[in-house]
Amino acid sequence: METPSPSRTVTGRIDVHPRGFGFLVVQPSGSDEVLSAFIPPPELNPYLADDVVSATVTASEDGRWSASALSLLKRPRQEVYGEVVLRKGAVHLRIDRDVANGDWPLEAAGVEVQPQDAVVARIADGKAWLLRKLEPGADRSLERIIVRHGLRRGFDPEVHAEVQRVLTVPHALGGRRDLRQVPTVTVDSASTRVIDDAISVLPAGGDGALRLFVSIADPAEFVTEGSALDRVARERATSVYLAGAMLPMLPEELSTNWLSLVPGEDRLCLTVELRIDPEGRVTAADVYESLIRSWAKLSYAEVADYLDKDEVSEPMAAVREAMPWFRAAAARLAVARAGRGGIEMSRDEARFTFDEETGEVSGIEAVRPTTAHTMVERFMVAANEAIAGWLIDRGVPALFRVQDEPEPQRVADLAAFAQHSGFGAGFGRRLTPLALAAFDRQIAGCTAEPALRSVLRRSLGPSRYTVVPAMHFGLAARAYLHFTSPIRRYADLSVHRALKQYLRGRRDFVHEDPAIEQLGVHLNERSRTASRAEKDRHRVLEARVMASHVGREFTGRITRVRPSGLLVQLDGMLVEANLPADALPDGPYQPDPRETSLVSASRTFTIGMPLQVRVASTDEQHGRVELALAG
């Protein structure tokens, strides 16, 4: 970015810091760089996070920017969460400190409120207007996160009326292919209620080729484009999973029942049928509308028991003869994947446990993916790739899932992290998919694997939706998209609609349709919002669980360096916690130019280094766990 003039008027978005100050974030047109100008508390008082304002920004001699003379242009935030306080005897709302730094006058509209009551309000005319008061015992941190990110729990009456219409549409065969006699199963977590996908494999023929069927629920047949149900699904873009709570994209009457591939019930689907030769190559793909009936709902645990120990569960008995061919299809696809590179998407996850009686979070545990997770992932990735290629070959525009090759500096940072963790990456100047696969295999199963994968994912960077097909680097896929979760993701639903239009005779598609690209921009933003909400919820629950571990020592590994300190991932629990720079001995510390190390006159802390740490404190409201060096 060119050095700007010392003072100028700009338009930007407000970012609020919980400590009471804020920043004006400005991204000049045509530039990837972002200008961030400090907003002092008095200037910030009348504004909310994400407000779009005009302001005067001024550069100081040290190159830092400050903003003044702010003027509101747009307020996208509709609701705020806060707690009631009294100021000089008047009722005010202390708004979520990630959203506002001040207390706003509260108009309770005749509802009796008391100090410390939690409420949701709308902002208008310089006041907070009460919308609803939370019931005693409600999970305030959950509601705060939902409102902070503009998420929605329920659905409007207009949507519920549309649901009743959908429930009258039968799952009828019509002109579809009848797959009800093909042994078909679903594989999910035991608690899963939204079932998008089912799988079946027919035995090898004389040429040795298998036929893998991936059948996906067909909500596009029921949700009319432009209807109230479609509009709300498009706006939400995705179901959001906040540990202990799920906010569905489609109402539960549909997502867990009428559209879900529940066992023993006829269901409309879109099926992709893949021919897989003995070397794992997908030599043909056919796509069609179908009617299926799931023979069994299997859990990952019982499928893993079969794959690893040949144990056959009671639900599996109905499809016992098909199970060896599931294993064969997964093995063949694994061979093909290994030959081109990329990484497996399944990874260790930190999962919270909840008390069955109280619903309160009771602990956190690291959960490793099983052989069943890996098998299902390979089937879904193969289906998504096949659909992407099928659409490209026919000139049908759709939302593709793209991940760029990582920049050389990101690759160098990853190599440095690996070296400090005791691994030799040796990527060279450019990371290739095969080199990535070799590194993936090198770290598999080691103690440092979760931390290494955390840094690896950041190094690869985010994926995005776009109408322009291009490579997905992490999967080493020439083209890729999301097809297998249309009940939970609007991108998949839009792909289904494009497929069905082509299958039913449409040919007047627009090359790289701008309307689809515009949809991709919206879905990318909503996906980022959902991800931020899920991370906020995770951090809050981490702090809640770790409050009982204050004073306890852990081994951990540095996964990120910031000017304010270090981010350390604790072994076993996968909790990421802060180790403040001012708590480190032999300071003061400054980050190096790439923020890969914190350096003082006599000591250096670098990403990848193992540390012995102690839990010093927790702050549930802000989702923070703070550490100190042990000893």
**Does 545 fall in a domain?**
no
Q: Name the pLDDT band for 348 (thresholds 50, 70, 90).
A: confident
Q: How confident is the model at residue 30 (pLDDT cuts 50, 70, 90)?
A: low
Does residue 56 lie within any of the structural domains?
A: yes
Token pair belonging to 245: 């709570």
- Do residues 455 and 508 both lie within one domain? no
pLDDT digits (tens, 9 = 90+) for 593-605: 888 899 999 999 9
- Residue 219: per-residue pLDDT: 98
> Is residue 2, in this structure, part of any structural domain at all?
no
Q: Are residues 373 and 479 located together in one domain of the fold? A: yes
* pLDDT band (50, 70, 90) for residue 450: confident
Give the end of a domain, one of 74, 101, 127.
74
Q: Which of 262, 179, 172, 180 is nearest to 222 (CA)?
A: 172
For position 5, what pLDDT does the model report? 54
Could you tell me if 394 and 506 are in contact, meaning their C-beta atoms sit under 8 angstroms apart? no
**Do the Cβ atoms of 342 and 437 come closer than 8 Å?**
yes
> Is the same domain home to 229 and 342?
yes
Confidence grade of residue 376 (pLDDT, cut at 50, 70, 90): very high
Which CATH number fits the domain that encloses residue 90?
Answer: 2.40.50.140
**592: amino acid identity, one letter:** D
Q: Tens of pLDDT along 508-565? A: 999 999 999 999 999 999 999 999 999 999 999 999 999 999 999 999 999 999 989 9
CA distances (Å), origin 256, targets 199, 217, 248, 265: 18, 12, 10, 13
Task: Examine the domain organization and report whether 567 and 488 are in the same domain.
Answer: no
- Position 152 in a domain: no
- Residue-level pLDDT at 381: 97
Which residue has tokens 């919308």? Answer: 131
Same domain as 344, residue 298: yes
146 is a domain residue: no
Tell me which of 19, 51, 74 is where a domain ends: 74
183: containing domain: 161-403+463-538
The total of structural domains in the chain comes to 5
Q: Count CA atoms within 13 Å of residue 125 on its CB side.
A: 3
Residues 218 and 311 in one domain: yes
Burial of 68 (C-beta count, 10 Å sphere; 0-12/13-18/19+): middle
pLDDT digits 0-9 by tens, 422-441: 888 888 888 999 999 999 99
Same domain, residue pair 91 and 180: no
- The stretch 131-154 carries a mean pLDDT of 94
The alpha carbon dihedral of 305, 306, 307, 309 has a sign of positive
Q: Do 279 and 313 sit in the same domain of this protein? A: yes
pTM exceeds 0.85 for this model: yes
Q: Looking at residues 462-487, what average pLDDT do you find?
A: 97
> Region 161-181: what's the mean pLDDT?
97
Residues with Cβ within 8 Å of residue 300, at least 6 apart in sequence: 187, 188, 189, 370, 372, 373, 376
Bond from prior residue into 588 cis (ω within 30 degrees of 0) = yes
Residues 339 and 470 in one domain: yes
Q: Which of 33-37, 87-91, 190-194, 259-263 has the lowest mean pLDDT?
A: 33-37
Mean per-residue pLDDT over the chain, rounded: 93
- Report in angstroms the alpha-carbon separations of 561 from 152, 592, 593, 595: 35, 9, 11, 6
Read off the pLDDT of each residue in 362-369 and give the average, rounded to a whole number: 87
| 8 Å CB contact between 627 and 568 | yes
Number of C-beta neighbours around residue 574 at 10 A? 19
Whole-angstrom distance, CA of residue 373 vs CA of residue 345: 10
- pLDDT single digits (tens) 258-295: 999 999 999 999 999 999 999 999 999 999 999 999 99
Residues 255 and 344 in one domain: yes
Q: How confident is the model at residue 32 (pLDDT cuts 50, 70, 90)?
A: low
Using the 3D structure, point to which of 20, 53, 74 is the last residue of a domain. Answer: 74
Residue 399 has pLDDT above 50, yes or no: yes
Please check whether residues 286 and 389 belong to one and the same domain.
yes
Q: Same structural domain for residues 40 and 179?
A: no
Q: What is the mean pLDDT of residues 378-382?
A: 97
